[in-house]
Structures are given as C-alpha cells and as structure tokens.
Amino acid sequence: MSNIEQSDTFRLGDRMVKRLGYGAMQLAGPGVFGPPKDHHAALAVLRHAIASGVNHIDTSDFYGPHLTNQLIREALAPYARDLVIVTKIGARRGVDASWIPAFSPEELTRAVHDNLRNLGVDVLEVVNLRAMFGIHGPAEGSIEAPLTVLAELQRKGLMRHIGLSNVTPAQIEEGRRICRIVCVQNNYNLAHRADDALIDELARQGIAYVPFFPLGGFTPLQSSTLSDVAARLGATPMQIALAWLLRRAPNVLLIPGTSSLAHLRENLAAAELDLPDDVASALDGIAANTAPAHGATSR
C-alpha cells in the first residue's frame, strides 16, 4: 500500500488534509454523464482511496449528475471524521450531457441542497463556486452576485467554507472582499502553467491551490522529457507529473481522478517519489515547448 503520508499536509478551511487526495469526476459514465460502467468497481476505488489514507475528496453534484455523490455516500458513509469532501456548484447538466451555467440564486440554492441530500450530510465542508464565463478556462466577469448568494447560504449554516474554481486573479480579489476564500481550483499541470504567479501568491496567503486536470485531463500529458525522466526514476510519466506538482509549492493539493484501482494505486504511489533538482529543472522546461491542451468539458 502506498504511503501518502509522504505527501505532507496543508490547511483546507480549518482542517489539515493530506496533499494527495482523490477527484471523483471519472466515476461517472462517459462525458461525466450517466452511471459508471462498473458500479462495484467505483465503490471499490473510493473505499481503497480512504483505506490508503486519502482524506480529501473532490466532487460535484453535476457529475453524473447526482450519481457521483450518491456513489460516495454509498461507499463511504458514515464518513471518517477526518474526511474532507469538497464540492462545487455553478453549472447544471442538460439532457444532452451539455454543461450549462447555473448562477441564479434559485439554481445555486438548489445545487447546495442537492449536494447535501446526495452526499447525506447536514453541512458541506467546502463549496467551490465554479465560474462559467470562459469556455476553455477563466475569463473576466463579476462573481459578486453568485458569491453573495453562496455567502448567505454559508451564514445559514449549510456550508463551512467557500472556494473558487476556474477564476482569474481579479475574481479572487473580488471574492475575498465578499467572504473568506479557502481554496482556488484552476487548470494547472506540467504543460499548463498560466497560474504560476498566482500559486505563489496564494501560498503566501495560506490559501490552498487545487489543480484540476493535473495529468492533462481528457488529453493526457505527452512529453519525451517526461517519459525520459520516468524511465530514469523507474516510475510512470503520470507519477512523475504528480510528484512535480507536489514539489511545486506547499499549498498545492492534488485530486487526480480515476475509475481504476490499478491507476489509483499508481497515482497514490507518486507521494513516495523524490525528484532530484536536475530532474525538476528539466521538467520545468516542458511548458515552454508544449501548447496547453483544452479539456472537452467543464470541471
């Protein structure tokens, strides 16, 4: 069993979580829509993650929709006391599996209650507001109205903490004038490094940064440098990519997702890798030679 204790910990809200967690998005069917191909395998992946020491799970009720949260509840409730489940709102799914912005007060309130019901909890630990202004990434636009709704729901006791997803630095600053922001979740990996300066600024402020698509998402990372480093260290390219992220900054919390037990074990083993300085320098150069690939869906 992998020793994820070597990934260290960081504060998420008022809880300390291990920096290597699990993202539940891939538990749903193709296109993050409909039921999983293998219901029992999905439950097994969730249970093995917790048994391996994971205490941070990322999810959303628009995965499925509803099905991923229901799987988490079936597999893990009653939840371990140290488990932090983070969800996100700001979108809904069309009958054609499309991703539709859902920012009205009624939609946001309904989404919070859907997450509470399907996860089977009285209070959500962290809720991320997912901005939907850009198709492939963050785009400017005021988040004041939806975030004010979320802050009011927090005051009513429906969630403990609030985070932001798919946002720009200006939106983060706007958000911090409205409520405390405990985490930022944006697209970031070895090849997609637009948030380098933001990560360092958030680290100085003690705010967690949670990269989604840490392994490239629907277009997995491809690099001869990455493959060469993996061969040298006797690891897989994806393990190297995760180990680089853990090394990148102390506030980076990883949520690699998979529906495979074998891949879950592989991902968790990345915590045990120690990248030499020359290897880290070589990996740092990948972004300069790789155009970022856009994921096909929301996250």
Residues forming the active site: 63
User: Angle at Cα 100 formed by Cα 32 and Cα 186, nearest 5°?
Assistant: 65
The bridge status of strand 159-165 relative to strand 84-89 is: unpaired
Tokens read off for 184: 């930022």
* Residue 36, burial from CB neighbour count under 10 angstroms (0-12, 13-18, 19+): buried
Only one residue has tokens 């920096």, namely: 19
Do the beta carbons of residue 134 and residue 194 sit within 8 Å? no
SS3 115: helix
**Which residue in 66, 71, 55, 120 sits closest to 89, CA to CA?**
66
